[in-house]
Amino acid sequence: MKERRAIGKVGWRLVVGGLLLLWIFHTIFVIEGHRALPTGDPSWEQLSKWEQWRLAWSYGPRELWNTLKVVDPTALILSLACMGMTIFLGVLRWRLVLKVQGLDLSFGRAAEISLVAHFFNSFLLGSTGGDLLKAYYAARETHHKKTEAVVTVFVDRLLGLFAMLLFACLMMVPNLNLLATHRRLAALAWFIVFMMAGCGSVVALSFWGGISRRWPQARTWLRRLPKGESLERALEASRRFGKEPLFLVQMLTISMALNVFCVLQIMALAHGLSLSISPTALLVIVPVIVCISALPISPNGLGVRENLYVLMLGVTEIGVDSTAALSLSLLAYAGSLVWSVVGGIVYISRKERDHLAEITETESATENIS
């Protein structure tokens, strides 16, 4: 029964993601079909919906492919390098979190786990689904601090999201005129502000608490919950981060550098597509899209991310047409998939090594018994 429910939850999100992607592709193809229609009679408005859609799906895919083909290979390589830098900085950030809990994981091991998590992010919900597997592997790395190891994964993601939201809010200042001019952009900006307030509250409560001081019985109720002891231990592990002010400064510094490389990746691709987009505008557009795409709506934010790129880049002040905006989003996603392939190779080789290690441990245990 539980398996059916789990499959059902994943299934409907896959459907949502698929429908969003279908909608955005259809919208883009309709625009291309309209452009491809020869001038004269009949006009586009005189065509039936079926004839419009037939033209859209006849011309749209070809025009999209033509747009993707013109990208500069150098820009592609540069965007891949920027994507790689985000993964590298993510590994540094996680190791910093691990050290606070007294867990010394080598850079190589942390990089392996991070790449595997990135691989699973390609088809799990939001852009953070692979964190569940990352937490699993982190717990396997230690026998006496499994709870603390799992906490490091979620704290790393929590602070990473908070830093990206903070970055987006700061970049709203030089873009106030752009955001205020368009209602939909203003709505997205306010949504990010509310997300930051919520995320900041979670960070404050996790690191410094306050609930148990106001309601002393809160800890007693926590212990009565299923896995109450583990939850309390996780809470205590979170409190350690609040006692390390230098840690928070280091985390924000690394995260801000990571955010810059996220924007640089899109800037490189925009240049490769010969799109004239203001860097100032991209400094707010990219983090807004990253933050919203991280929500568990569709696998790896598919559909959500594409719609946001088309919506935000299509405003008059920026003036990127829908096909080009979609191409930009797809190319960025393709760069992520390249690194996902690397993570998949690491995952396969890691599984084989872990399997051999388990066999060796079993044989050693059998020999000791005999």
Report pLDDT digits (tens) over 238-255.
888 888 888 989 999 999
Looking at residue 358, what is its pLDDT? Answer: 44
Say if CB 207 and CB 236 are below 8 A apart: no
For the stretch 133-185, pLDDT in tens is 777 777 777 767 778 888 888 889 899 999 999 999 999 999 999 998 998 89
Q: Are 201 and 210 in contact (CB under 8 A)?
A: no
Low-confidence stretches of the chain (pLDDT < 50) are 126, 355-370
pLDDT at 165: 96
pTM given for the model? 0.76
What is the structure's pLDDT at 369?
A: 44
Domain extent listing, the chain: 1-69, 73-211+238-363
pLDDT confidence of residue 60: 75
Looking at residue 356, what is its pLDDT? 38
Cα-based distances in Å from 156 to 47, 124, 160, 173: 54, 18, 6, 27
Rounded to the nearest integer, the mean pLDDT of the chain is 79
